[in-house]
């Protein structure tokens, strides 16, 4: 039986950089038979205030698995949505090189939302791509999920 994952309440992320944002403003299908979803990769400094993110994840864990979910998460039995900026998920699958905009001192998340729950973007600042600065945004994400 598949687990039905909980949705978080709406929340605003700390300032972040956006990567792989093709699905941020227009819901897209990840594959031919998939549902349309909004999604993007949000990159944060490790020094960012993670309070809103941590609270949303904790609440989704409890809403999905109950209080025993907290213990499961502490034991590493529930996959964390927080990914290392220099980890395997930040690397190009073909070359193994770290993707532009990722690296040490950063973490990222890959939030998604169903087509009926579009995210809201606040305070966009575009950067100088040639200098490696891809801009910043604070995203009011409408869904956080914890997965097995």
Q: How confident is the model at residue 99, as a pLDDT?
A: 94
φ, ψ of residue 136 to 5 degrees: the values are: -135, 155
Q: How confident is the model at residue 125, as a pLDDT?
A: 62
Residue 19 has pLDDT above 70, yes or no: yes
Question: What tokens were used for 76?
Answer: 């590493």
CB 16 within 8 A of CB 82: no
Q: How confident is the model at residue 3, as a pLDDT?
A: 64
Question: What tokens were used for 15?
Answer: 């300032």
pTM for the model stands at 0.77
Question: What tokens were used for 68?
Answer: 């025993």
Most confident of 50-64, 90-104, 126-140: 90-104
SS3 58: helix
| Residues 76-130 pLDDT 10s | 999 999 999 999 999 999 999 999 999 999 999 998 888 988 888 776 666 554 4
Q: How confident is the model at residue 93, as a pLDDT?
A: 93
121/60 Cα distance (integer angstroms): 22
125/41 Cα distance (integer angstroms): 16
Q: 66: buried, middle or exposed (CB in 10 Å: 19+, 13-18, 0-12)?
A: exposed
Mean pLDDT value across the chain = 82
61/11 Cα distance (integer angstroms): 16
């Amino acid at each position: 039986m598949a687990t039905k994952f909980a949705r978080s309440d709406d929340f605003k992320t700390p300032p972040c950089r956006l990567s792989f944002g093709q699905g941020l403003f227009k819901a897209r299908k990840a594959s031919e038979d998939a549902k349309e979803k909004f999604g993007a990769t949000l990159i944060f400094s490790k020094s960012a205030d993670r309070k809103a993110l941590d609270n949303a994840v904790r609440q989704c864990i409890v809403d999905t698995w109950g209080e025993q979910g907290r213990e499961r998460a502490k034991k590493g039995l529930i996959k964390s949505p927080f990914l290392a900026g220099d980890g395997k998920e930040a690397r190009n699958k073909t070359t193994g090189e770290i993707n532009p905009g990722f690296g040490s001192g950063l973490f990222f998340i890959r939030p998604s939302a169903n087509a009926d729950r579009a995210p809201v973007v606040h305070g966009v600042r575009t950067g100088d791509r040639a200098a490696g600065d891809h801009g910043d945004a604070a995203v009011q994400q409408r869904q956080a999920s914890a997965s097995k």
